[in-house]
């Protein structure tokens, strides 16, 4: 059993998928988000989409960093995480504007102060203000803030995002087929619209990242940050403290900052991409939960996906691997490992999309291709050798 599973987490969410298997899959079952007819206005040419997600256990890392350093600004990053994890999923069905967002914040008041709430709520609005400068308009409708200490040990920051969108401007993944190439856009570095280096970790796999990298010191000092029923051998098994530093691009960056890099949104890039190249985009995938295997859930027919030109894993993923000793097979199922956005298109358009990404300071490359197959499968190739996932 993987370390991830031993900690009570599933990268593939098998039990969740089983629980929802009988639900209506919407108008386009292979689209990245569920799409429904326009029940708000009854227009057959429009659809409604609603999506819910959040920062997950990354909020526990923010809690640890805040307790150790007193720096409450780290909570603004958690606000961005909760928004980006919703927004970037919706980007993958083509939605880039006029979205509604409602937040849900559950806290344990005995350990989470009003200062933290203010940082999260104000940070959410600040992020929306930044995105508005790129023509991505998100309207903040408030939400629910609940003191539920009997349920939540620290804080959970989540949100729901919804939109009404024309059918003719949807990306449904139905056009993904043999002959497509896959353009991946880096999750790390520093995009032109980011203020500091982004480790690329995003908001997935943070249970593993936290326990694999940080030392037993945190189990002793902050027992409220983990499930007490977990076996000791999977709790905070790493070597580091949040304030330890590692050299990256000639700078010393703290472990805490690496693990807490706000999830990069690709919205400033995707908006002009869809405006100019919509007819050339066959599919889009947000490599979130499930990492590099995420794409397999959305294939419209049996296909072989080959990714043989992957990005070199950014330093944060090597930090996790060196601490945990986890196999590459598990790492590529849990983490994005270098790129979080995939676009399926033709080779000529791929070159133009890569150039567009570069104009925002985001590296892009053709990471792979799609071939015909009798049954769906994914093959990853790299310095780790070859990994085959069959579905």
**Nearest-angstrom CA–CA distance, 214 and 205:** 14
114 and 37 assigned to the same domain? yes
Q: Which of 214, 242, 259 is the last residue of a domain?
A: 259
According to DSSP, residue 272 is labeled: H
Other beta carbons less than 10 A from residue 382's beta carbon: 18
**What's the predicted TM-score (pTM) here?**
0.94
Q: Which of 240, 259, 278 is the last residue of a domain?
A: 259
pLDDT (tens digit, 9 = 90+) per residue, 166-205? 999 999 999 999 999 999 999 999 999 999 999 999 999 9
- Does some domain include residue 176? yes
pLDDT exceeds 80 at position 153:
yes
Q: How confident is the model at residue 8 (pLDDT cuts 50, 70, 90)?
A: low
- Does some domain include residue 108? yes
**Nearest-angstrom CA–CA distance, 389 and 299:** 14
84 and 226 assigned to the same domain? no
pLDDT of residue 21: 63
Domain that includes residue 148, residue range: 3-196+261-390
| Residue recorded with tokens 């969410």 | 13
Q: Which of 242, 259, 276 is the last residue of a domain?
A: 259
| Strand partners of residue 386 | 381
Strands 46-54 and 283-286: unpaired
- Does some domain include residue 201? no
73 and 157 assigned to the same domain? yes
Percent over 90 (pLDDT), the chain: 93
Q: How confident is the model at residue 332 (pLDDT cuts 50, 70, 90)?
A: very high
126 and 137 assigned to the same domain? yes
**Nearest-angstrom CA–CA distance, 338 and 87:** 19
**Nearest-angstrom CA–CA distance, 137 and 127:** 11
Structure token digits, residue 55: 């920062």
pLDDT (tens digit, 9 = 90+) per residue, 23-39? 788 999 999 999 999 99
- How many structural domains is the chain composed of? 2
Cβ(182)–Cβ(119) below 8 Å = no
101 and 165 assigned to the same domain? yes
177 and 294 assigned to the same domain? yes
36 and 87 assigned to the same domain? yes
29 and 167 assigned to the same domain? yes
69 and 190 assigned to the same domain? yes
185 and 325 assigned to the same domain? yes
Between the two ends of the chain, the Cα-to-Cα distance in Å is 19
Q: How confident is the model at residue 20 (pLDDT cuts 50, 70, 90)?
A: low
Helices and strands, number each (H, E), in the chain = 12, 14
Other beta carbons less than 10 A from residue 323's beta carbon: 19
Residue 234: closest CA among 255, 219, 249, 253 = 219
- Does some domain include residue 345? yes
18 and 116 assigned to the same domain? yes
270 and 162 assigned to the same domain? yes
pLDDT of residue 24: 81
- State the CATH number of the domain containing residue 275: 3.30.1330.10
Other beta carbons less than 10 A from residue 38's beta carbon: 16
pLDDT of residue 18: 65
């Amino acid at each position: 059993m993987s370390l991830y599973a031993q900690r009570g987490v599933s990268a593939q969410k098998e039990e969740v998928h089983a629980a929802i298997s009988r639900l209506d899959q919407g108008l386009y079952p292979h689209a990245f988000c569920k799409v429904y007819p326009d029940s708000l206005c009854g227009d057959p040419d429009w659809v409604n989409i609603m999506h819910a997600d959040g920062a997950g256990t990354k909020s526990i890392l923010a809690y640890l960093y805040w307790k150790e350093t007193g720096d409450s600004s780290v909570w603004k990053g958690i606000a961005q995480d909760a928004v980006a994890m919703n927004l970037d999923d919706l980007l993958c069905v083509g939605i880039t504007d006029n979205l509604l967002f409602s937040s849900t914040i559950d806290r344990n008041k005995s350990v989470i102060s009003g200062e933290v709430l203010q940082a999260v709520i104000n940070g959410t609005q600040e992020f929306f203000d930044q995105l508005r400068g790129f023509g991505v308009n998100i309207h903040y409708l408030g939400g629910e803030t609940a003191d539920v200490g009997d349920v939540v040990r620290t804080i959970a920051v989540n949100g729901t995002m919804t939109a009404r969108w024309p059918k003719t401007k949807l990306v449904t993944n139905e056009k993904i087929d043999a002959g497509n190439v896959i353009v991946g856009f880096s999750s790390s570095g520093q995009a032109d619209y980011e203020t500091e280096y982004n480790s690329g970790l995003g908001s997935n796999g943070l249970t593993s990242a936290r326990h694999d990298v940080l030392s037993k010191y945190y189990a002793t000092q902050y027992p409220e940050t983990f499930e007490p029923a977990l076996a000791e051998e999977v709790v905070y098994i790493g070597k580091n403290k949040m304030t330890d530093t590692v050299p990256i691009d000639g700078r010393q960056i703290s472990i805490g900052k690496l693990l807490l890099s706000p999830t990069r949104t690709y919205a400033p890039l995707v908006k002009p991409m869809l405006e100019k190249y919509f007819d050339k985009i066959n599919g889009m995938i947000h490599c979130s939960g499930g990492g590099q295997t995420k794409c397999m859930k959305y294939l419209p027919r049996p296909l072989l996906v080959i990714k043989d030109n992957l990005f070199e894993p950014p330093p944060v993923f090597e930090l996790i691997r060196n601490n945990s000793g986890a196999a590459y097979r598990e790492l590529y199922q849990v983490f994005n490992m270098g790129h979080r956005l995939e676009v399926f298109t033709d080779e000529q358009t791929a070159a133009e999309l890569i150039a567009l990404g570069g104009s925002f300071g985001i590296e892009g490359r053709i990471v792979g291709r799609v071939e015909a197959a009798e049954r769906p499968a994914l093959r990853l190739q790299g310095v780790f050798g070859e990994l085959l996932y069959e579905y």
